[in-house]
């Protein structure tokens, strides 16, 4: 974000309004990261920018409705709770090794550059309404799961994709002209395979299959976003939840997750549509993020975010279908 960007000035103004949490100092940059993330969710909830909706779902977050700057500050303070700094769990290492082996055994389909990946899931987020005090966020309500379908080019993010959610279709144009004439078509000769934050299948194919090399690449490319363990776990979670990766890369992602300090196992977890499974989890600032897997097949089911202090679910998802199709909007036969 450019220093002259109006959004950065808005964030700087909001930063001055955010009260410091009692009895502890925040890690450098943590307030800014959460504030920018929550502001992004607020803007998307109000009116997604034409041609530039979020194609990637960063880990399920609170959606704040009817909130001003003071209410936003309260929400930030609410989720800044003490985190887990324990070492890696041997049980998690063993479970991730089994999951990686199962992932590596999956078939690797032939994919054409003109195709799209298709992912159907059910997602639910917490909505916190009204008020400007922290107490108004103590009873956030988790919405009912709603269907989400996304199509994205397997080779070029300049090719428009599609998001179908909340009863409407939203074109996804990651690299669009943003002139004052409102043109959202891709620039001429635009070709990009994406990045770690917004990958295509071709980008995923280029990732190293060495777990240590893959984790190092993630930490290098995402440096400065969040503390390295949490950012690595979040980034890998994003790649698992709403992308399609080749079997060897999927296996490497799971084995890379086993190298992250603080990863644990939850023996029984439930995804957004009620499927039970075993979860690999990571806790940061009082929020436990769980990747949920079938106990029988070890296939990825979905994700859940839980406030440890209140045992309440902030957000949850369930992936029900992944496939490659010939055009955006087409569903598998």
Low-confidence ranges of the chain (pLDDT < 50): 1-3, 5-56, 58-87, 131-137, 177-182
How many Å apart are CA 221 and CA 217, to the nearest integer?
A: 6
Collapse the DSSP code of 244 into the 3-class scheme (helix H, G, I; strand E, B; otherwise coil) and give the result.
Answer: coil
Which of 214, 247, 233, 240 minimizes the C-alpha distance to 293?
240
pLDDT tens digits, one per residue of 91-106: 999 999 999 999 999 9
| Structural domain includes residue 111 | yes
How many Å apart are CA 240 and CA 279, to the nearest integer?
A: 13
Q: What pTM did the predictor assign?
A: 0.74
Range of 219's domain? Answer: 6-325
| Structural domain includes residue 125 | yes
| Structural domain includes residue 109 | yes
* Whether 263 contacts 89, CB under 8 Å: yes
User: How many alpha carbons fall within 13 Å on the CB side of residue 275?
Assistant: 26
| Structural domain includes residue 90 | yes
| Structural domain includes residue 331 | no
* Whether 298 contacts 96, CB under 8 Å: no
* Whether 233 contacts 260, CB under 8 Å: yes
pLDDT at 118: 98
Q: How many structural domains is the chain composed of? A: 1
Residue 19, class by beta-carbon neighbours within 10 Å (0-12 exposed, 13-18 middle, 19+ buried)?
A: exposed
Collapse the DSSP code of 149 into the 3-class scheme (helix H, G, I; strand E, B; otherwise coil) and give the result.
Answer: strand
pLDDT at 326: 97
- The structure tokens 């960063």 sit at 58
pLDDT tens digits, one per residue of 198-223: 899 999 999 999 999 999 999 998 88
């Amino acid at each position: 974000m450019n220093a002259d960007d109006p959004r950065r000035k808005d964030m700087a103004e909001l930063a001055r309004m955010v009260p410091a949490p009692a009895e502890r100092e925040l890690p450098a940059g943590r307030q800014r990261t959460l504030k920018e993330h929550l502001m992004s969710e607020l803007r998307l909830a109000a009116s997604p920018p034409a041609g530039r909706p979020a194609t990637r779902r960063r880990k399920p977050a609170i959606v704040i409705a009817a909130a001003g700057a003071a209410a936003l500050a309260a929400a930030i303070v609410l989720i800044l709770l003490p985190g887990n700094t324990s070492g890696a769990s041997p049980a998690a290492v063993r479970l991730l090794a089994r999951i990686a082996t199962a992932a590596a055994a999956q078939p690797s389909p032939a994919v054409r550059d003109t195709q799209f990946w298709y992912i159907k899931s059910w997602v639910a987020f917490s909505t916190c309404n009204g008020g400007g005090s922290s107490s108004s966020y103590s009873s956030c309500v988790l919405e009912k799961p709603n269907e989400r379908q996304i199509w994205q080019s397997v080779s070029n993010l300049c090719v428009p994709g599609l998001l179908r959610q909340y009863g409407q279709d939203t074109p996804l144009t990651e690299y669009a002209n943003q002139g004052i004439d409102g043109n959202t078509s891709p620039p001429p000769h635009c070709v990009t395979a994406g990045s770690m934050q917004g990958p295509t299948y071709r980008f995923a194919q280029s990732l190293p299959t060495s777990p240590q090399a893959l984790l190092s690449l993630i930490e290098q490319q995402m440096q400065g976003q969040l503390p390295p363990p949490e950012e690595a776990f979040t980034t890998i979670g994003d790649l698992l939840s709403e992308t399609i990766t080749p079997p060897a890369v999927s296996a490497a992602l799971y084995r890379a997750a086993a190298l992250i300090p603080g990863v644990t196992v939850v023996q029984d977890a439930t995804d957004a549509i009620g499927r039970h499974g075993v979860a690999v989890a990571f806790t940061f600032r009082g929020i436990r993020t769980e990747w949920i897997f079938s106990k029988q097949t070890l296939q990825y089911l979905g994700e859940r975010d839980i406030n440890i202090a209140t045992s309440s679910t902030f957000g949850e998802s369930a992936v029900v279908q992944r496939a490659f199709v010939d055009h955006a909007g087409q569903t598998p036969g």
